[in-house]
Amino acid sequence: MPRSGLRSVMLASTTALAVSLTGATATAAHATTATKPLNYVALGDSYSAGSGVLPVDTGNLLCLRSKANYPNVIADRTGARLTDVTCGAAQTKHFTQSQYLGVAPQLNVLKADTDLVTLTIGGNDNNTFINAILACGSAGLLSGGKGSPCKDWNGSTFSDQIESNTYPALKAALKAVQEKAPNARVAALGYPWIAPPTADPSCFAKLPIAEGDVPYVRGIQAHLNAVVKRAAEETGAVYVDFAQVSEGHDACKPAGTRWIEPVLFGHTTVPVHPNALGERRMAEHAMTTLGLN
């Protein structure tokens, strides 16, 4: 073969090899990017922490955090790299303030490379959940389960506080999350139903709320979820809605069906909170909503 022809063949071969190597490098880089685990941060209160669900995360006993909470379920099923700072009794203010001595503000763990943030928060602002359950449970016991003593006494107090205090606090908290993690997808989870839509006489021993106050308590929770949804939509976060999927899984249902444990005769140490089944279902519905399945 003439020397000029040999040079042409060698040049063509070298070019083809270079193109092949470049393509392989690009493919490998794409594969690495595609399989890179999500940097996932879990924020929030006891519903996020899975308080009362075993096994307990012994890394911080003050926060009553479970290793079987919905953030851990999501991380296990997606392969995400989880940083879990959820903490029982947390309020929106604890995103930017220390909740306990030695417990840093939750937003401190957020970074520019955070990919995913989930949170359930707002139920402890104004002590809404605990005050409503205590007030309505006490009133129910005193009335023998008749009438609507809690509604008669408290009226719109709980809903007024949710609207005037919790809603703006939620909106500010979600904005702060996005400022600290500008590249993250943020998901705000609602709260699964605690009470059924109407009174269940067989449930009074477990959830001692008067028959007329059951829809009242349900309405308080519906309002809380509505402001979580509104704050999420107004700040560009994804709202994970449990209104339909948690129907029929309230605290009045039998073990194995209920997602929320009742006030009395429940199976966890923290009443009126999700059990292990509830935490799994919260994780599954969040993954479905976010397209992580």
Q: What is the mean pLDDT of residues 58-85?
A: 97
Q: Of 94, 223, 249, 273, which is the active-site residue?
A: 273
Query: 13 catalytic, yes or no?
Result: no
- pTM, two decimal places: 0.87
- Of the chain, the percentage scoring pLDDT greater than 70 comes to 88
Task: Give the Cα separation of 284 and 76 in Å (integer).
Answer: 12
* Tens-place pLDDT, residues 165-216: 999 999 999 999 999 999 999 999 999 999 999 999 999 999 999 999 999 9
* Tens-place pLDDT, residues 135-166: 999 999 999 999 999 999 999 999 999 999 99
Residue 23 has pLDDT above 80, yes or no: no
* Tens-place pLDDT, residues 230-260: 999 999 999 999 999 999 999 999 999 999 9
Residue 134 CB: number of other CB atoms within 10 A? Answer: 13
The CA-CA-CA angle for residues 180, 184, 186, to 5°, reads: 95
Residue 33 has pLDDT above 90, yes or no: no
Question: What pLDDT does 220 receive?
Answer: 98
Q: Of 46, 48, 148, 159, which is the active-site residue?
A: 46
Q: How confident is residue 35, by pLDDT bands cut at 50, 70 and 90? A: confident
Task: Give the Cα separation of 293 and 291 in Å (integer).
Answer: 6
Query: 46 catalytic, yes or no?
Result: yes
- 38-290: CATH topology is Rossmann fold (3.40.50)
* Tens-place pLDDT, residues 207-219: 999 999 999 999 9
